[in-house]
Copies of this chain bind each other. A is one copy, B any other.
Amino acid sequence: MASVSTKLALYDLEGRDGRRLSPFCWRTKYALAHKGLEWEDRPVGFGEIQSIGDGSHRTVPVLDHDGKLIGDSWKIAVYLDQTFQDAPPIFPSLDALHYAQFVERWLFTQVFTAMFPALVRQIHEHAKPEDQDYVRRSRELQLGGMSLEDAEKRGAEGLGAMAVALAPLRAKLADMPYLNGNEPGYADIVAASTFMWARAVYPKKLFPPNDTVIPWFKSILEMHGALGRSAPGYDITGA
């Protein structure tokens, strides 16, 4: 637990109806909870990120520790381990850090890219009304000029590619309950955060029945007093 003199607050990306839209913010919430730290929730829309601190932050999460601002979920995780050394480590070894980073590279290059077209119109749909113009403009740029609606039409193809790309996760979970073994670690949190992002906006199933991903994801949603499940979202597991 942080001492009474320590005050932590987290700027967390919020959409409409309290939906929490950022996988990177999800990682930091799980990192804080893992360390047994309490924090003040500071939800912000896309357009409010530039009003954090001196306005230099372009993304969230941003952690406010007694007035000191730290951005980037990796930097925050390392900062938490360095600052709260008596609390359980997020990275019990350097290998745990490298593993989580490899999982992120795999997610970004193979999984996220495949899911993105199917989900992107729903991100726009679930953003705060005042953020929707920004979300459309920035995401259509990311799509190389394709409209959100055209991307959604191609979504099924991407989800097919995602199903193939998830094979390493499935294969690992066929042997062990978590990527980190018998207990979840940060590699699990990094992977699951992608689906927490999906869960916030995507109103359909993402996995076939009996997928090894389903019990794993549900278990992570229940951790730390249902930290994940208690946030508004859809049932992407269909279970």
Mark A residues whose CB is within 8 Å of B: 92-96, 98-99, 101-103, 105-106, 108-110, 165, 167-169, 171-172, 175-176, 179-181, 185, 187
Q: Report the copy number of this chain in the oligomer.
A: 2
| A110 near B181: Cβ-Cβ < 8 Å | no
8 interchain residue pairs of minimum CB distance = A109-B167, A99-B99, A105-B171, A106-B168, A93-B93, A95-B96, A105-B168, A95-B95
Tell me the complex Cα distance, A124–B147, Å.
50
Question: Which one of A93, A96, A102 has the highest number of Cβ atoms from chain B below 10 Å of its Cβ?
Answer: A102
| Contact present for B179 and A102 (CB under 8 Å) | yes
Q: Is the CB of B187 within 8 A of A102?
A: yes
Please, how many angstroms separate the alpha-carbon atoms of A188 and B148 in the complex?
39
20 contacts between A and B (CB under 8 A): A95-B95, A95-B180, A98-B99, A98-B176, A98-B180, A98-B181, A99-B187, A101-B172, A101-B175, A102-B102, A102-B103, A102-B168, A102-B172, A102-B179, A102-B187, A105-B168, A105-B169, A105-B171, A108-B171, A109-B171
By a CB distance below 8 angstroms, the chain B residues around A180 are: 94-95, 98
